[in-house]
Amino acid sequence: MLPELSNQLTEWERGILDRVDDYRDTIFAILGFCSLWFFDASTRERRSYIGVFQGRHLSPVCKKSSSLNTQPQKDVCPDLGVVIRAQTGIVGEVKKNFPSDDRRARKIFDQLNSYDQELTGWPTDNGELQSHELALLVHQTTSWAARRFYSRGVGDGSIKFERPFSIFVFNRSDQRVPYFFFQAVEGEICAIEADLDPYQGVPVPMQALMDLHSRSKLYDGEPPLPYLLDLIWEHVVIPLASENTRFARLRSNQKLEVDVFVDDIVEKLHEGFSFSHWHTQYPDRQPLIPRKEWVLKACRFLVQSKEARWVTEDAELRVFYRKYQDVLGHFVRLQAESEAEKDLQPMFPMFEEGTSGSSN
């Protein structure tokens, strides 16, 4: 392989791994922020009167209007939600990398603005709450952009929330015991529980979130492709392959054919790795995560990479299972190669299919 190409591939791989890291950190942020409310540090127990959710569809309450042509407003889908005593709530968006360009920043605040109205469909018996407030969680490294955009918007009147709104920054602190740190740095947060002091900042040790993270590897944001493929391979394909008597003794250059339905992949990952364990009491309005379109995209990538073929287009897949020494690394490399193929073909006409070997 040409050295330029090899360096470029390594760069791509690094970029993909960074995206995987961002995705996982977003999950930690969702878990950590919600745990500030549901976890009682003094008793080390979960507070029974706190409900939490991720990716739930909430519906704007349509006020009676004089106009007969009022279109029903679209449901909103916040990254996280906390419900306190079935009375008050917090909905939040997590943006690990808050954009510095105004257009994209505006979109995020527009999204938050869509939560700033009466909503129904909360995880309560009647689906309603007396009040709720809004929070934006941004990583410390990009928090200045969020705060500047917000201050400017408040100043010129382009941002105005009727409900309490706050900006939280979070970061991962790499001390002896790593933890996620959350601090309210703008606006006001009213729904404060017990001794929680969000303005002072609250550290949440990562090991306190480890159990939850092991069960919740997918939220309602689309995961990086290799990350999703790694989950599919390890937790859907391998269990099926292990039913074959040849599994344990399979050599690294041998394959096993494993047939799997796309819907089964969705169901198994949803059951094992979504936030569904948070939604057992009020499962309606919770989307099926991973979304089928993400899984289809992953399956098509397997087919394109000759790791599988369709038995029935977009429904049943025949995977050519092989043992990889580093499953995630393998799919990261495959995606990097695929990106390289697309981007470098005009630059390197000799770059043809099959000239690049995958890892393992």
Give the footprint of other proteins on this chain (CB under 8 A).
20-21, 24, 174, 176-178, 205-207, 210-211, 214-215, 230, 234-235, 238-239, 241-242, 247-248, 250, 271-272, 277, 280, 323-329
Asked if residues 163 and 134 have their Cβ atoms less than 8 Å apart, the reply is yes
SS3 of residue 139 by DSSP: strand
CA 24 to chain centre: 7
- β-pairing verdict for 256-261 and 316-321: antiparallel
Task: Kindly tell me which of 175 and 312 has the beta carbon lying closer to other proteins.
Answer: 175
Task: Kindly tell me which of 69 and 280 has the beta carbon lying closer to other proteins.
Answer: 280
Instruction: Using alpha carbons, select from 207, 140, 133, 128 the residue that is nearest to residue 169.
Output: 140
Task: Tell the smallest beta-carbon distance from residue 20 to other proteins (Å).
Answer: 7
Task: Tell the smallest beta-carbon distance from residue 208 to other proteins (Å).
Answer: 9
Task: Kindly tell me which of 24 and 57 has the beta carbon lying closer to other proteins.
Answer: 24
Task: Tell the smallest beta-carbon distance from residue 31 to other proteins (Å).
Answer: 13
Task: Tell the smallest beta-carbon distance from residue 330 to other proteins (Å).
Answer: 8
Task: Kindly tell me which of 135 and 241 has the beta carbon lying closer to other proteins.
Answer: 241
The number of beta carbons lying within 10 Å of the beta carbon of residue 80 is 24
SS3 of residue 299 by DSSP: helix
Task: Tell the smallest beta-carbon distance from residue 155 to other proteins (Å).
Answer: 39
**With the CA atoms of 153, 154, 159 and 161 taken in that order, what torsion angle do they form, in degrees rounded to the nearest 10?**
160
CA distance 275 to 241: 26
Asked if residues 81 and 133 have their Cβ atoms less than 8 Å apart, the reply is no
Task: Kindly tell me which of 60 and 272 has the beta carbon lying closer to other proteins.
Answer: 272
CA distance 34 to 142: 21
CA distance 360 to 329: 9
Residue appearing with tokens 């290799």: 226
Asked if residues 129 and 83 have their Cβ atoms less than 8 Å apart, the reply is yes
Task: Kindly tell me which of 144 and 247 has the beta carbon lying closer to other proteins.
Answer: 247
Task: Tell the smallest beta-carbon distance from residue 188 to other proteins (Å).
Answer: 33
Task: Kindly tell me which of 77 and 266 has the beta carbon lying closer to other proteins.
Answer: 266
Task: Tell the smallest beta-carbon distance from residue 308 to other proteins (Å).
Answer: 18
